[in-house]
């Protein structure tokens, strides 16, 4: 905590355990900015900008329904999918999840 008080520049800290942070330590931060999961309109925007180009198409109602069942999506999730298929040509990737058959 002494180092935080003596810092004369910027200090950026992150945690996904805000509830476990000590109150005395938290008082030393001027700004506390929460990052939450994507809202439905953000999910659509992330899909449109990152995934639509590799599946060659706008988001469908079926995909919207599937994505709405995943309440904890973040921009990182979309970037991960995009990074996995970044060399794919448009139309080679299907966004619809099909469970694999046993034995394959």
- Which residue blocks in 7-59 are alpha helix, DSSP H? 23-26, 40-46, 52-55
Is residue 50 within 8 Å of 86, Cβ to Cβ? no
| Residue 61, pLDDT score | 85
Q: Using one digit for the tens of pLDDT, what is the confidence trace for 55-99?
A: 767 778 888 888 888 889 999 999 998 888 877 766 667 665 555
Rounded to two decimals, the pTM is 0.62
């Amino acid at each position: 905590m002494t180092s935080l008080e003596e810092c004369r520049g910027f200090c950026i800290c992150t945690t996904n355990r805000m509830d476990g942070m000590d109150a005395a330590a938290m008082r030393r931060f001027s700004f506390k900015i929460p990052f939450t999961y994507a809202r439905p309109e953000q999910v659509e925007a992330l899909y449109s900008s990152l995934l639509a180009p590799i599946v060659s198409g706008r988001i469908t109602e079926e995909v919207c329904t599937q994505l709405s069942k995943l309440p904890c999506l973040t921009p990182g999730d979309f970037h991960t999918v995009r990074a996995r298929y970044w060399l794919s040509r448009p139309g080679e990737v299907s966004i619809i999840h099909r469970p694999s058959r046993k034995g394959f």
